[in-house]
Amino acid sequence: MNDVDRNELFIGGRWVAPQSGAGTDVLEAATGKVLGRSATASNADIDAAVAAARSALSGPWGALSPTERADLLDRFAGALKARGRDTARLVTRENGMPISLSNAVNGFGPAAMVSYYAGLIRSSTGDDVRPSTFGGRTVVRREPVGVVAAITPWNYPQPLAAMKLAPALAAGCTVVLKPAPETALDAFVFADAAADAGLPAGVINVVPAGREAGAYLVEHPEVDKVAFTGSTAAGRAIGEVCGRLLRPVTLELGGKSASIVTENADLDVFAANLLEVSLVNNGQTCHASTRILAPRSRYDEVVDAVTETVRALTVGDPLDPATQIGPLVSEAQRTRVLGYIEDGRAAGYRITTGGSAPASQPLGWFVEPTVFVDVDNSARIAQEEIFGPVLTVIPFADEDEAVAIANDSEYGLGGTVWTTDEQHGFDLAARIHSGTIGVNHYALDLNAPFGGVKASGLGRELGPEGLAPYYTAKSVYFGTR
């Protein structure tokens, strides 16, 4: 047995063998070798997890005051933080995320989110008493929506799970977490931390499995809300089911965001941020600004800045703190990304750097960071989410055209504007149809909502807005007598 193997599921506060005895190998992205084995849930295990979450709702968890919940969440945050360094390493080995990024988002992120939501409920005022329009008064209660099915992908497995767990628990809900098989091992850290922190049994249940079990969980009659992050295709399927069931659902899906480089942009600032904004996590980031829109008046300068910056990136072992681009998560993902590169090449678009799997990396699923230039926005490589280290540079004549190109996308998740005039950047940002956008910078903010429009999803996570979907409002009317 490997020291990262996890042969048991976490259900109802206990470690239990999967009922079918099933397990799945998790591969190491940088080597392609087996990293460890994870217990895999069957439908019977999902039933048990949902039942445990349901009974925890009406058990001690449901009886806690917001302050008592906040105290427990602070202990949970502490237990996650204590494991942060190991968690970051584990995720890097699972999915290839450069360790410097993983330390921040997987090591630090979940504890920060849990603390953030603990703080929000601790300072909340509770029930809202309002004078009734017709005399008397109404007490508006915020009640937990119930049992939450949280379904997460492999690219940012820890923060994407925490974006659901933290507000759900803060609101008094209970959770069944179904992580992606590629990153099943790190999901058990939430179980370890829950047990250490003394969260009541059944408040968090961890059941890694594939998409069939995920679909079973979404349809489960005892689930009250679904919170999903993943591909737009899966999000549509889940949204259809939830629509039929009239079940609340939050969907964080794909993206194909645009970076608008304006005529007065400081290209040094733009280039210094390119990795973080456009290629973060080896390009496996839903909000990455992968379409670079460049003014014709400065087109060659922008192409040179993008090409030189991308060419200089350090590709290699994701556990090395100096690495900027690691391997993709899986062979399937690399095949998909190389397929898009071939498609762009076949369509006649010019590559200024990259364009294949690096010969220097015989093991693992590396792809050279790649830049296509002179691209038309209608090209497949400009319209579809590649989810790898591939950028397209697209020229524009004036800002009206830049806005039209940026908005000519199925998606609407992120984006960036580069300008030395912040007010102009803000005005331009307002014209982009997306859920988030950055000016000379792009980074999620725990205190502000994150999510998309159009095919990028429904609803918001993070900020106070990310707590609201885990409550249901109940109005209790009192008359005058």
User: Annotated catalytic sites, by residue?
Assistant: 252
Residue 425 vs 463, nearer CB to ligand NAD? 463
Residue facing ligand NAD at closest CB distance: 214
Residues that bind ligand NAD (rule: CB under 6 A) add up to a total of 31
Tokens of 93: 């080995």
Residue 177 vs 261, nearer CB to ligand NAD? 177
237 binds ligand NAD (CB under 6 A): yes
Strand partners, 37: 25
Q: Rounded distance, CA 367 to CA 245, Å? A: 42
> Looking only at residues 258 through 317 of this chain, which bind ligand NAD when binding is defined by CB under 6 A?
286
Q: Rounded distance, CA 17 to CA 41, Å? A: 9
Smallest gap from residue 112 Cβ to ligand NAD (A): 17
Strand partners, 394: 293
CB 29 within 8 A of CB 22: no
45 binds ligand NAD (CB under 6 A): no
Smallest gap from residue 163 Cβ to ligand NAD (A): 8
Q: Rounded distance, CA 318 to CA 375, Å? A: 30
Question: Using H for helix, E for strand and C for coil, what is the string for the chain?
Answer: CCCCCECCEEECCEEECCCCCCEEEEECCCCCCEEEEEECCCHHHHHHHHHHHHHHHCCHHHHCCHHHHHHHHHHHHHHHHHCHHHHHHHHHHHHCCCHHHHHHHHHHHHHHHHHHHHHHHHCCCCCEEEECCCCCEEEEEEEECCEEEEECCCCCHHHHHHHHHHHHHHHCCEEEEECCHHHHHHHHHHHHHHHHHCCCCCCEEECCCCHHHHHHHHHCCCCCEEEEECCHHHHHHHHHHHHHHCCCEEEECCCCEEEEECCCCCHHHHHHHHHHHHCHHHHCCCCCEEEEEEEHHHHHHHHHHHHHHHHCCCECCCCCCCCCECCCCCHHHHHHHHHHHHHHHHCCCEEEECCCCCCCCCCCCCCCCEEEECCCCCCHHHHCCCCCCEEEEEEECCHHHHHHHHHCCCEECCCEEECCCHHHHHHHHHCCCCCCCEECCCCCCCCCCECCEECCEECCECCHHHCHHHEEEEEEEECCC
Smallest gap from residue 334 Cβ to ligand NAD (A): 13
Residue 107 vs 459, nearer CB to ligand NAD? 459
Residue 396 vs 450, nearer CB to ligand NAD? 450
Interacting residue with ligand NAD among 72, 80, 151, 261 (CB under 6 A)? 151
327 binds ligand NAD (CB under 6 A): no
238 binds ligand NAD (CB under 6 A): yes
188 binds ligand NAD (CB under 6 A): no
Interacting residue with ligand NAD among 162, 385, 406, 428 (CB under 6 A)? 385
CA dihedral in degrees (296, 298, 300, 305; nearest 10)? Answer: -130
Residue 271 vs 386, nearer CB to ligand NAD? 386
Smallest gap from residue 17 Cβ to ligand NAD (A): 21
Smallest gap from residue 333 Cβ to ligand NAD (A): 8
Interacting residue with ligand NAD among 75, 211, 298, 454 (CB under 6 A)? 211
Tokens of 266: 């400081």
Interacting residue with ligand NAD among 42, 115, 155, 440 (CB under 6 A)? 155
Interacting residue with ligand NAD among 36, 109, 202, 214 (CB under 6 A)? 214
180 binds ligand NAD (CB under 6 A): yes
Residue 117 vs 156, nearer CB to ligand NAD? 156
55 binds ligand NAD (CB under 6 A): no
Interacting residue with ligand NAD among 22, 104, 215, 468 (CB under 6 A)? 215
Interacting residue with ligand NAD among 72, 145, 165, 253 (CB under 6 A)? 253
| Binding-site string for ligand NAD from residue 97 to residue 136, where x marks contact by CB under 6 A and - marks none | ----------------------------------------
Smallest gap from residue 206 Cβ to ligand NAD (A): 12
Smallest gap from residue 13 Cβ to ligand NAD (A): 23
254 binds ligand NAD (CB under 6 A): yes
Tokens of 464: 């106070």
Smallest gap from residue 45 Cβ to ligand NAD (A): 15
Interacting residue with ligand NAD among 192, 252, 368, 399 (CB under 6 A)? 252
210 binds ligand NAD (CB under 6 A): yes
Residues that bind ligand NAD (CB under 6 A): 151-156, 160, 178, 180, 210-211, 214-215, 218, 229-231, 234, 237-238, 252-255, 286, 385, 387, 413, 452, 456-457
